[in-house]
Structure 1
Amino acid sequence: MQYQVLLYYKYVTIDDPESFKEEHLAYCKGLGLKGRILVAREGINGTVSGTIEQTKKYMEDMKNDPRFADTVFKIESLESHAFKKMKVRVRPELVHLSLEDDVNPNETTGKHLSPKEWLAAMEQEDVVILDARNTYEYDLGHFKNAIRPDVETFRELPQWVRENFSQFKDKKVLTYCTGGIRCEKFSGFLLKEGFKDVSQLEGGIISYGYDQEAKGKHWDGKCYVFDERISVPINRSGEETVVGKCYHCGNPEERYVKCGNPECNAHLIMCEDCEKEHKRSCSKECLEHPWNRYIKEQETESSPN
């Protein structure tokens, strides 16, 4: 059976997010979908997986709602579900930049560049490419020459920009993220901060990777995604390289794990040998933590039934 995963977002007013959440969760479960959807007064952001028939029906029903009629769905083929459960959560914001004066992307946002336009822009000399994701996402894969903000969460990005990026206000800035939703707000923030020329990759990295003309060119490594797959390939031009490095030994690696200590949960690129040696941990403290998941898993596997 063939499956698909849909990635989408839409900034549009949802008057009663709580009621919408309950209704939409019941609808998705009834349809047989699995995934994660965030709902806020400012809109919706979702990633769901299901059979081709289920996902097709979902897109049709969403587009029949005037609020979501022009929603763009990014579609990827799968052999199984990308999630274990179906969750719909209400949030104050779809993405949180921790600003006193929030950005409304429907009023202020950077220029949208198609994958073809983005490729051409990257190849210009006088441009600055800024990754709008977190460090653990960047470390697995990124565009060539992209600047890596030293941030662990999206809300840290504005302060990082003010402290480390202000010298580029007169440059042409290209910014990107996984599916595009973060850059809708972030590019608007840059404009409000006085950056003169700000563009964003329309549809994000995922759309760029599937574009028949761009073919993921100038992307190194893989793209971190927030589902059971963990990462997906982007560069289909034949120039793909591995940029990830094992947290412990430093060898080239693209395998992501979460630290075995459930109270840490750090995202770590780690080879299988080091996972075994260090018990999937980022430190001695995490290795020796009484709840270390890796140790618990090994004990369960070795115990007689």
Structure 2
Amino acid sequence: MHMSKYQTLLYYCYSPIENAEEFAATHLEFCKSLNLVGRIIVADEGLNGTVSGTAEACQRYMEAVHADPRFAKTDFKIDDVEEPSFIKMHCRYKPEIVHSGLRNPEIINPNKQTGKHLEPKEFMEMKDRDDVVILDVRSNYEHSVGRFKNAVTLDIENFREFPEKVKELEQYKGKKILTYCTGGIKCEKASALLLKEGFQDVYQLHGGIIKYGKEAGGKDFEGKCYVFDNRVTVDVNSVNPTIVSTCKNCGKVTPKMINCANPECNEHFTQCDECGWEMKGCCSTTCMEHPRRREYDGTGYYVKIPQPVNAEKVSKRKHKKFSPQEPA
């Protein structure tokens, strides 16, 4: 059996961190000492990260995190990968570990109240019941490329818009609400907010779509799962896989998601290969004409390169990657 040399870890942990800014700086140096790459957000409320490196380095990282009593219960989702899923290592302090605008711990605190956690097989057993509504709490670009069969999706560009959409869910107050997201972190606050707003029976998929794919075969998850690293999307369903996303330009069924080649647009969108080459990796003719349009190489991934840039070296890069906006 082929064993991958590298792994990618997805995780989060809501646990108070004193002097979080200082912790972020020291944690960054620790990650670099292991030659890890990735993106970690540190806030007073906890950690949210995706890191990638050799299997040995990832094992040492998980052991170190679990050795800290604050993070002892952190649940790591582990993927074997052929190459590291990031270019660099970032560990930054931010007000929240997932941007929701719900920063007051006296109002929304996942450590005190959140939806009932369902393990993947429990979620699978409940999801098709008549008294159940499956709620996708992710953004448009995420659920456009993949979602659970019959899931309710919301028209949001970023999770911080979720609180404004709760009123649209009033019709489901008498049902069991099963929330889900990529790795579980958004559901912690989404389910807590639903409970605060009077929803009585709220659940969340523990470990999110990623864990569901690993432990329940991904049954009835249609399409691919958007991830916040250079892979962009990953397969989830090994039971009854299908493709649900379509090309933004021509409407053809396609699982491929890219970033617009216009750096000032940088929209996440699905685009077939034919339109990709015809549109030069852009979402519109307007973006095609932008003076700073990046060269499209068929992947639609772009790395943020600090100035000054050696244009000759950039043009020779074979695998351009992009840095997603936030981990999940």
Q: TM-score range, shorter-chain basis?
A: over 0.9
Map 1:175-254; keep pairs closer than 5 Å: 175-211=179-215, 214-237=216-239, 239-254=240-255
Match of 1:153 in 2: 158
TM-score scaled to structure 1, two decimals? 0.94
Is 2:292 the partner of 1:287?
A: no
Q: What does the per-residue CA deviation read over 1:104-146, in whole Å, with 9 as the maximum and x for residues that have no partner? A: 1011100000001000111212211110100111010000000
AA of the residue aligned to 1:93: E
Is 2:148 the partner of 1:138?
A: no
AA of the residue aligned to 1:221: G
CA distance in 1, matches of 2:155, 2:312: 38
Percent identity between matched residues is: 52
Match of 1:107 in 2: 112
Q: What does the per-residue CA deviation read over 1:33-59, in whole Å, with 9 as the maximum and x for residues that have no partner? A: 110000000000111011111001111
Match of 2:176 in 1: 172
Higher mean alpha-carbon deviation, 151-160 vs 274-283, is at: 274-283
CA distance in 1, matches of 2:65, 2:96: 21
Are residues 106 and 31 of structure 1, via their aligned partners in 2, closer, same or farther at CA, if it must alter by over 3 Å? same
Match of 1:88 in 2: 91
Match of 2:133 in 1: 128
CA distance in 1, matches of 2:56, 2:285: 48
Match of 2:305 in 1: none
Report the CA distance between 1:221 and its aligned residue: 0.4
Q: What does the per-residue CA deviation read over 1:5-26, in whole Å, with 9 as the maximum and x for residues that have no partner? A: 1111111111111110111100
CA distance in 1, matches of 2:286, 2:128: 45
CA distance in 1, matches of 2:59, 2:246: 38
Q: What does the per-residue CA deviation read over 1:49-79, in whole Å, with 9 as the maximum and x for residues that have no partner? A: 1111100111111111111111111111111
Map 1:7-26; keep pairs closer than 5 Å: 7-26=10-29
Q: What does the per-residue CA deviation read over 1:162-214, in whole Å, with 9 as the maximum and x for residues that have no partner? A: 1x211111111111000000101110000001011100000000000000xx2
Report the CA distance between 1:295 and its aligned residue: 6.3
Report the CA distance between 1:235 and its aligned residue: 0.6
Cα RMSD of the aligned pairs, angstroms, is 1.9
AA of the residue aligned to 2:108: V
Match of 1:98 in 2: 101
Matched residue SS, 2:50: strand
CA distance in 2, matches of 1:233, 1:138: 14
Report the CA distance between 1:294 and its aligned residue: 3.0
Q: What does the per-residue CA deviation read over 1:219-270, in whole Å, with 9 as the maximum and x for residues that have no partner? A: 1000000001001111111x10100101111111011111111111111101
CA distance in 1, matches of 2:71, 2:175: 35
Which segments of 5 or more consecutive residues in structure 2 lack a partner in the other structure? 299-310, 317-328
CA distance in 2, matches of 1:24, 1:200: 29
Report the CA distance between 1:276 and its aligned residue: 1.3
AA of the residue aligned to 1:267: H
CA distance in 2, matches of 1:100, 1:184: 13
AA of the residue aligned to 1:254: P
Matched residue SS, 2:295: helix
CA distance in 2, matches of 1:100, 1:113: 25
CA distance in 2, matches of 1:279, 1:300: 20
Which segments of 5 or more consecutive residues in structure 1 lack a partner in the other structure? none
Give the total of aligned pairs. 298
Are residues 296 and 221 of structure 1, via their aligned partners in 2, closer, same or farther at CA, if it must alter by over 3 Å? closer
CA distance in 2, matches of 1:123, 1:18: 44
Is 2:52 the partner of 1:39?
A: no
Are residues 16 and 149 of structure 1, via their aligned partners in 2, closer, same or farther at CA, if it must alter by over 3 Å? same
